[in-house]
Chain A
Amino acid sequence: MNPFSSGTRLRDMIRAIRACKTAAEERAVVRKECAAIRAAINENDQDYRHRNLAKLMFIHMLGYPTHFGQMECLKLIASPGFPEKRIGYLGLMLLLDERQEVLMLVTNSLKQDLNHTNQYIVGLALCALGNICSAEMARDLAPEVERLLQFRDPNIRKKAALCSIRIIKKVPDLAENFINPATALLREKHHGVLITGVQLCTDLCKISTEALEHIRKKCTDGLVRTLKDLANSPYSPEYDIAGITDPFLHIRLLKLLRVLGEGDADASDTMNDILAQVATKTESNKVAGNAILYECVQTIMSIEDNGGLRVLAINILGRFLSNRDNNIRYVALNMLMKAVSADAQAVQRHRATILECVKDSDASIRKRALELVYVLVNETNVKPLAKELIDYLEVSDLDFRGDLTAKICSIVAKFSPEKIWYIDQMLKVLTEAGNFVKDEVWYALIVVISNASELHGYTVRALYRAFQVSAEQESLVRVTVWCIGEYGDMLVNNVGMLDIEDPITVTESDAVDVVEIAIKRHASDLTTKAMALVALLKLSSRFPSCSERIREIIVQFKGSFVLELQQRAIEFNSIIAKHQNIRSTLVERMPVLDEATFIGRRAGSLPGAASTPTIPSVSLPNGVAKPVAPLVDLLDLNSDDAPAPSSSGGGDLLQDLLGVDLPPASQQSGAGQASKTGNDVLLDLLSIGSPSAPSSSSAVDILSSNSSNKVPVSPLDDLSSLSLSTGTTSNAAPMMDLLDGLAPSPPTENNGPVYPSITAFESSSLRLTFNFSKQPGNPQTTVIEATFINLSSNTYTDFVFQAAVPKFLQLHLDPASSNTLPTAGNGSITQNLKITNSQHGKKSLVMRIRIAYKINGKDTLEEGQVNNFPRDL
């Protein structure tokens, strides 16, 4: 016998491990034990196998690797005795999961044990199967489990019922086999069987509409009766919890009734009485009772409308909300969220209480409440609600502030009644939590500011004031710097004073101070500093008296280690020094940014944002630019750009700005400069529509360079969103068309690169071709038109096409044009598929297909894999 394995008992090992003072000691003990167990495994030691496995389970629980013990589980399961099997199954469930290949080896033992004469062994096998079975095992063993649903002992029936749940979740096709045995369980008296049977039916209904219809028709009355009997049952000690007989069964019955009542007026009608009874009679001073009420309210809210019941339910929630117990308040908020869609008015009544919950000390409650407030906001109550939330922002926890800020910004943007209010609220948010504000949010703010010409002076003064107190909030600094750059003269001259404002005196050098602080602040990041440089350039023209000082600040950055800043500094310096005559035109005020375009672009660029996060940041100043002052726009464009590509990109832009012709830029993008900048340059050129607009050849150039880069569609989409048309461009038409957006809707070839259609599948009897198209603005999504052509002389009936794709793809199948495919030459079936590629640009599409149809009533099945998709889909 192995000298090690016999050594320690399980108990002694646990003691030894617990006695360890340090992690290293523990590791040493575990290592020794593992070595001994391995040795025992190698010697095929039988006597201590179960003890070794028990030890391994403990070691596993501590987080050490135990894969070498997996086979031991199988051996124990295969041995005849109950004790060995019991520990073997436990080890199996603990050490393995459904994805391990080893698991397949146990299928046979499971099958035998499911047919064992000892019901406890059957129970063990069912338990293991229910906890870890894979789809293959589910398929293999489903008949056994189905049979066990009618086993004489109720304890086996209940286990089989739960096991069936796992099986139908793994293999939904098997659901229909379980419908009849499952409904039989609903007539049982044994609570365990009833609970599991109800649960099985609930899951069946979710998986199969056939089951739902069947159970709704056959069982609703019975279930209502069961619930009624249960609710009225006398005290029974075995199932009693806090004065209620079997709350677990109550809850499951209510849940199943909810599934049955949803969308069916008759079924809902049947259960009205009992729901009213449960809602009014259940004691609500203990958790169990509240759990039932909670479930009951959910059911009332989900089933078909019954005004009276809804009122009852909302009242229960109101009572929950004022409860002192945090758990109850949490579920009330959770439930109100669902009730909003049914009865927003009733939920609004509790607004004040909900708002209090946003300030709760409990993070879970705060989060729920905030989400609820968010859906409760509308035009009429936005002002007080936003005020409350913003006031609370000041004192909120740091880890909650991000969520809160995002929600406030979204509320304010969505419902703001007037611009000045929007700007005021946003400034408050920026002052309190500017570091949590997302980039899109402050872009949007700038767009709004730019559009509110009568508020320019007011805004820049307010920002100036805010900056004095909260200079550490990054996004506040950016907005301030931008506004001072644009409207610095209004700040100094108190232009456009509103009645509500206090007058302030700001000198030109005060304004420059702000920008200087921003640019020199250690914590400012590249974007802020780059924006500050642009602002300085602009101020140098607006404030001639400070011009020299500004030049000095700019010169300091000529030595910056950050290429982007260095380059800007050098360029701006030379503008100030050498190009006095064009400087003032160069740094004119930004044209009004177009809100509609911005919003449209933002919506359009969202899907792409995941793969190229900087897109939104460049898209704002760039895409929304009106052609009035293209040069300024170009200057600004770069401010948000990533440093790497801009070293050359910036140069090009500047060249453009100084009147250099276009071709260099487009050539350059073709020459493999970082594609993002390339696109933007091109885009900009187009949107500016400068006199030397690209000829047809350079338009082609754009297209071809696009198809080789990673986001082929977005620039084209940008074009269409600006309702430009390359068609017009290539005609060398005057730029006016571009400027005014008069061009007709883009021609079809503008919708994206054209992909050749492919023959996805061909057999002797059938051909399947795919035509591809992309939706503008969504490069990840491909729309495939599948055409099926019958190559034989028989008509195919019951034609069904199925397709499967790997995880990184999402597939949506539209209904086919027909399910009958006429003989060769007499027509075809078409069906649209929509595929979203989450790894767009990295992985190509791939699809497995299955086509089933009947020839003269005989089933035929064809399968295949499609690998010949064009790349870049």
Chain B
Amino acid sequence: MINFVLLISRQGKVRLTKWYSPYSQKERNKVIRELSGVVLTRAPKLCNFVEWRGHKVVYKRYASLYFCMCIDEDDNELEVLEIIHHFVEILDRYFGSVCELDLIFNFHKAYYILDELLIAGELQESSKKTVARLIAAQDSLVETAKEEASSLSNIIAQATK
């Protein structure tokens, strides 16, 4: 299973963290510090796996962002690389050629997408289309709620004028 997902920028800034195994806040900070030290310093042509505290960290760099997933000893590293790519493709479709700034300002969207992809550290959906459809449906739910709210406040505003 995937124990956690980390997105780190090349400067070592955290862009997304998702913990599927219990880590206390202190441990989380330590993990992030340690791993960004390890992952960011690896040369480009090396393999995408790092052994770390009895686990394996699979990472892949896309532009300025490192996507890291920490898995158990006997998990399939190559598959996790493919999961990372799957995630990136979905982000790309959603944001329209995604860049780091998209993930900074819309970090919650990135989390929503990840939640449609992984639960309990396991893959949930292998179809990019399905994920996109589910996210779109939920986004439109939010939009309608907002519209209702604003029209409601308009009515109230009118009435109290």
Q: Check if B146 is an interface residue, CB within 8 A of chain A.
A: yes
User: Does A414 have its Cβ within 8 Å of any Cβ on chain B?
Assistant: no
In the complex where A82-B141, A326-B45 touch, is A163 in contact with B79 (Cβ < 8 A)?
A: no
Candidates A57, A192, A195, A363; contact of B107 at CB < 8 Å: A57
Instruction: Indicate whether B88 reaches chain A with its CB closer than 8 angstroms.
Output: no
Expressed in whole angstroms, the minimum distance between the Cβ of B129 and any Cβ of chain A is: 5
- Considering residues A83, A195, A239, A334, which has the most beta carbons from chain B within 10 angstroms of its beta carbon? A83
Q: Given A90-B111, A97-B22, are A61 and B16 also a contact pair (CB < 8 Å)?
A: yes
Expressed in whole angstroms, the minimum distance between the Cβ of B76 and any Cβ of chain A is: 5
Known: A83-B142, A97-B24, A330-B49. A130 touches B107 (CB 8 A): no
B34 at the interface (CB under 8 A from A): no
Complex Cα spacing A124 to B111, Å:
12
Q: Check A127–B146 contact: CB distance below 8 A.
A: no
Closest Cβ neighbor of A334 among chain B residues: B77
Contacts of B98 in A (CB 8 A): none
Render A276-302 as a binary contact track against B, CB cut-off 8 A, 1 for contact: 000000000001101100110010000
Contact between A248 and B83 (Cβ–Cβ < 8 Å)?
A: yes
A364:B130 contact, CB within 8 angstroms: no
Contact B82 A83 (CB under 8 A): no
Q: Which one of A154-162, A735-743, A846-854 contacts B?
A: A154-162
Task: Give per-residue flags for B24-52: 1 if the beta carbon is below 8 A from chain A beta carbons, else 0.
Answer: 11000100100000000001011111110
B137 within 8 A of A: yes
Contact check, A14 vs B76: say whether CB atoms are below 8 A apart: no
In the complex, the answer to whether A87 meets B108 with C-beta atoms within 8 Å is yes
- Is residue B19 within 8 Å, beta carbon to beta carbon, of the partner chain? yes
A61-B107, A327-B77 known; A126-B119 Cβ under 8 A: yes
Q: How far is the CA of A98 from the CA of B145 in the complex (A)?
A: 31
| Least distance between A854 CB and chain B CB atoms (Å) | 37
Query: Measured between C-beta atoms, what is the minimum distance from B114 to chain A in Å?
Result: 10
- Of all chain B residues, the one with the shortest Cβ separation from A90 is B111
Partner of B108, one of A90, A120, A365, A367: A90
Known: A63-B14, A196-B122. A11 touches B105 (CB 8 A): yes
| Closest A residue to B153 using CB positions | A47
Contact with B along A635-676 (1 / 0, CB 8 A): 000000000000000000000000000000000000000000
B160 proximal to A (CB < 8 A): no
Residue contact A331 to B129, C-beta cutoff 8 Å? no
8 Å CB interface, B4-20 against A: 14-20
Question: B78 contacts A290, CB within 8 Å?
Answer: yes
Expressed in whole angstroms, the Cα–Cα distance for A294 and B108 within the complex equals 35
A54 on interface, CB distance cutoff 8 Å: yes
Are A327 and B105 also in contact (CB < 8 A) when A82-B141, A165-B120, A365-B47 are? Answer: no
- Do the beta carbons of A191 and B126 come within 8 Å of each other? yes
Complex Cα–Cα for A158 and B81 (A):
22
Tell me which of A18, A196, A362 contacts B104 (CB under 8 A).
A18
CA distance A255 to B76 in the complex (A): 10
Q: How far is the CB of A540 from chain B (nearest CB, A)?
A: 52
The reply on B112 being an interface residue by CB < 8 A is yes
Write out the residue numbers on chain A whose beta carbons fall within 8 Å of the beta carbon of B79.
247-248, 251, 291, 295
Interface string of A153-178 (1 = CB under 8 A from B): 00100110011011000000000000
* Contact A248 B123, CB 8 Å, known A63-B29, A155-B134, A287-B81: yes
Contact of A331 (CB < 8 Å), options: B45, B78, B112: B78
Verify if A131 is at the interface (C-beta below 8 Å from B): yes
Judge if A199 is at the interface, Cβ distance under 8 Å.
yes
Is B158 in contact with chain A by the CB < 8 A criterion?
A: no
A14 close to B104 (CB less than 8 A): yes
Separation of A24 and B83 alpha carbons in the complex (Å): 38
Do residues B137 and A120 form an inter-chain contact, with CB atoms below 8 A? yes
B81 touches A162 (CB 8 A): no
- A94 in contact (CB, < 8 A): yes
Check if A329 is an interface residue, CB within 8 A of chain B. yes
Name the A residues within 8 Å of B108 (CB-CB).
54, 57, 87, 90
Q: Would you call A834 an interface residue if the criterion is a C-beta within 8 Å of the partner chain's C-beta atoms?
A: no
Contacts of B48 in A (CB 8 A): 326-327
Inter-chain contact A98/B119, CB cutoff 8 Å: no
Q: How far is the CB of A265 from chain B (nearest CB, A)?
A: 23
Closest chain A CB from B161 CB (angstroms)? 19
CB under 8 Å from chain A, chain B span 50-102: 50-51, 76-79, 81-83, 85-86
19 contacts between A and B (CB under 8 A): A14-B104, A81-B145, A83-B141, A86-B138, A93-B18, A155-B130, A159-B124, A192-B124, A192-B126, A192-B127, A199-B122, A248-B83, A248-B86, A248-B123, A287-B85, A291-B82, A294-B76, A327-B49, A364-B49
Give chain A's interface residues, CB within 8 Å of chain B: 11, 14, 18, 54, 57-58, 61-63, 65, 81-83, 86-87, 90, 93-94, 97-99, 120, 123, 126-127, 130-131, 155, 158-159, 162-163, 165-166, 191-192, 195-196, 199, 238-239, 241, 246-249, 251-252, 255, 287-288, 290-291, 294-295, 298, 326-331, 334, 361-365, 367-368
The 7 closest A-B pairs by CB, nearest first: A291-B78, A326-B47, A162-B119, A130-B119, A166-B120, A130-B120, A362-B46
Given contacts A120-B137, A123-B134, 8 further A-B contacts (CB under 8 A): A61-B15, A83-B142, A97-B22, A199-B122, A238-B128, A248-B79, A326-B47, A334-B77
